[in-house]
Structure 1
Amino acid sequence: MANFGGHAIPGSFFLLFGFWLTVKHTLQHYWRTSHPKSRAILPPVFKKMDYIEGGFQIFASFVGIMVEQFVVDGPHAHLYDTQNNSWVKLMNWQHSTMYLFFGICGVALVVSTMSKTVPVGVDRFALSLALFVEGFLFYYHVHSRPPLDAHIHSLLLVVVFSGSISTMIEVFIRDHIILELLRACLFILQGSWFYQIGFVLYPPSGPTWDLTLHNNIMFVTMCFCWHLAVALIVVTCTSAAVWITMRRFSREGQDIEIVLRNRLHNKSSEKALLEESEEE
C-alpha cells in the first residue's frame, strides 16, 4: 500500500522475525556448545520452534496478501482493467508477490522439519529465494521516482540482497552462529528501515520531506548507518541476555541436582546406620 501502514506491516513482520531468529539461534548454539557429543541431535523443543516459525511465516504472509488486496483502495484480486485498458494497483500486487514467496518459505520450513526425506538446506534456500524476489521486485519498484524516494529504496536493496546472499551461504554451511546472527541482524535492519521509509515518504505527522533535496539524501544515508548500528546492538544484547539466562538456569539445575543427590546419599547412609544398630 502506498501509505505509512503499508510499510509498517512488513516492518513489524521483519522486526519480530529478526528478534525471533536471534533468540532461537542463540539457544541452538548454547545447546551445541554445552552438549558437544550430541550437537547433531537437537531436542524436540527446537523442532517445535521451527513449526512455530514456519506457521508464523505462513500466517503473516496470508494476512499481508489479504491486506494488500482487499483494503478499500486495493485491487481486490483484479490485475487488469479491461474497460480502461490499464493495470490495477501494481504496487499492491508487487507487495502481495513478496508475501507469497515468504509464505512459500514458511511451507518449506514446515515440510523440511516434518520429513527427513527433504534435502537439508531447503528451508534456507527458500528463504534466500524469497529475499531475492523481494529485492528483485523493489529494484524495478523505484524507477522514475524522485531522488530521495529512489535512494531510500536502494538502501533497502543493500539489506535485502545481503540477506539473500548470506542465507544462500547457509545452505552449504549449516549451524554457523555468525551467519545465523547476521541473518537475524539483517532482518531487524530491514524491518526498521521499512518504518524509516514510511516516515520519510508518508509521515504520519509533521512536515513532509523534500524528495529532491540533496541534504535529505545525505541524512538518510547516515541514518541507514545508525539503523545498522542499532540492529547490531539489539542482536548482541539479545543473544547475550539469552546466553546468560541459559547459563544461570543450567547452573541452578545442576546445583539442585547435586543437592538432591547429597540428600539421597545422606538418607541412604542414615538408613544403613540404623540397620546396623538394630542388628547389634
Structure 2
Amino acid sequence: MANFKGHALPGSFFLLFGLWWPAKFALKHYSMKRNKKGRAHRSFDHLEIIEGAVKVIFAVIGILGEQFVPDGPHLYLYTRDPWSWVKMMNWQHCTMYLFFVLSGVVDVLTYCPARLPLGLDRLMLAIALFVEGVLLYFHVQNRPMLDQHIHALLLIAIFATSASILLEIFLRDNVILELLRTTLCFVQGTWFWQIGFVLYPPFGGPTWDEADHENMMFITMCFCWHIAVAIAMVTVIYTLVQCFVQRCRTSNRRIQIRLSLQKQKNTKDSCAFLLNASDEE
C-alpha cells in the first residue's frame, strides 16, 4: 500500500524480530556453553517453530491488507475494461509477503518432527530477503529523486541482511553473524517507519521537497543514525539478557550451596542425636 500504514506493517515486522533475536541468541549461546556437547536446549526448537508461525501470521496479514483494502486489486491481476494490469504495486507487496510465508513454513518444518535438513530455514529466509530487495529495486523507478534515494538506502540493509544469512548456512550458530543479521533487521524495521514518515506524513505535516539535494543529504545522514541506534539497541538487549542469566545462575548456586550446607548440618545433628541416644542406652 502506497501509504503510511503500508510501510508501518513491514516496519513493525522487522522491528519485532530485531528486538527478539538478540534476546534469543543470548539465551541460546548461554545454553550451548552450559551443554557439554555444545548444543542448545531442546526448548529452542519450540521457539523456532513459534517464530516461524509468527512470521507466517504477519505475512498473511500483509497479503490480505494489500489485496482487500478498499482500493486494492481484490485478487484481480488483469482487467479487460480497459485492458491493463490491476494495482501492480499491491501485487508486488503481496509477492514479497508470500516469500516470508514460505520462510515461516520452512522454519516450522525444519524444527518440527518432519525435520527438514538444517540450513534450509536460513536459505529460505535469505531468498525471501533477496526477493524483497529485487522487487523494491524495480518498485521505485521513474519516481522522484528523494523517493528513489530513501528506498535505495533500504536496499543496502536488505541485501546485506540476505548476504549475512547466507553465510549463516555455512557458519551456523556464529554469534557475530547472528548479531549482524539482527542489527540489519532492526535497521530495516526503523527505516520502513522512516520512509512512511517522510513520504506519507501521518499527522498532516509539511511534505518534503523531493527534488531538494539537502533533503537527500539529511536522509543519508539519518540512515547512519538508524544504524547507530540499531547497534546500541542490539548491544543493550544482548548484554542485559546475559547479565540477567548470569545473575540467575549465581543466585541458583547460592541456593544450592545453602541447601547443601543445611543438609549436611541436618545429617550431623541426626548422627549426634543417634550417638547420644546410644550412650544413654
Normalising by structure 2, we get a TM-score of: 0.97
Q: Match for residue 11 of structure 2?
A: 11
* TM superposition shift of 1:148: 0.5
- The answer on 1:230 being equivalent to 2:229 is yes
CA distance in 2, matches of 1:179, 1:143: 32
CA distance in 2, matches of 1:105, 1:12: 18
Write out per-residue CA displacement over residues 57-112 of structure 1, whole angstroms, 9 at most, x where no aligned residue. Answer: 01111111111111111111111112111111111111111111111111111111
- The answer on 1:276 being equivalent to 2:251 is no
Q: Match for residue 263 of structure 1?
A: 262
Q: Match for residue 31 of structure 1?
A: 31
Q: Match for residue 212 of structure 2?
A: 213
- The answer on 1:61 being equivalent to 2:56 is no
Q: Match for residue 96 of structure 1?
A: 94
User: Equivalent residue of 2:262, what SS?
Assistant: helix
Q: Match for residue 143 of structure 1?
A: 141
* TM superposition shift of 1:116: 6.5
Q: Match for residue 123 of structure 2?
A: 125
Q: Match for residue 80 of structure 2?
A: 82
CA distance in 2, matches of 1:180, 1:68: 31
User: Equivalent residue of 2:76, what SS?
Assistant: coil
Q: Match for residue 160 of structure 1?
A: 158
Partner AA of 1:141 in structure 2 = H
Q: Match for residue 197 of structure 1?
A: 195
* TM superposition shift of 1:38: 2.9
* TM superposition shift of 1:119: 1.4
Q: Match for residue 248 of structure 1?
A: 247
Partner AA of 1:254 in structure 2 = R
* TM superposition shift of 1:36: 5.0
User: Equivalent residue of 1:174, what SS?
Assistant: coil
Partner AA of 1:53 in structure 2 = E
Between the aligned residues of both structures, percent identity stands at: 48
CA distance in 1, matches of 2:70, 2:28: 44
Q: Match for residue 110 of structure 1?
A: 108
Write out per-residue CA displacement over residues 121-163 of structure 1, whole angstroms, 9 at most, x where no aligned residue. Answer: 1110011000000001001001101110000000000000000
* TM superposition shift of 1:115: 3.6
Partner AA of 2:230 in structure 1 = A
CA distance in 1, matches of 2:271, 2:65: 73
- Whether the 8 Å CA contact 2:165–2:181 is kept in 1: the answer is yes
CA distance in 2, matches of 1:81, 1:14: 34
* TM superposition shift of 1:32: 2.1
* TM superposition shift of 1:45: 2.1
* TM superposition shift of 1:117: 4.4
Question: Tell me, which stretches of 5 or more residues in structure 2 are unaligned?
Answer: none
- Whether the 8 Å CA contact 2:78–2:84 is kept in 1: the answer is yes
* TM superposition shift of 1:39: 1.6
User: Equivalent residue of 1:81, what SS?
Assistant: strand
Q: Match for residue 173 of structure 2?
A: 175
Q: Please report the RMSD computed on the Cα atoms of aligned residues, expressed in angstroms.
A: 1.0
Aligned residues: 278
User: Equivalent residue of 1:38, what SS?
Assistant: coil
Partner AA of 1:277 in structure 2 = N
CA distance in 2, matches of 1:2, 1:157: 18
Write out per-residue CA displacement over residues 155-177 of structure 1, whole angstroms, 9 at most, x where no aligned residue. Answer: 00000000000000000001100
CA distance in 1, matches of 2:64, 2:264: 63
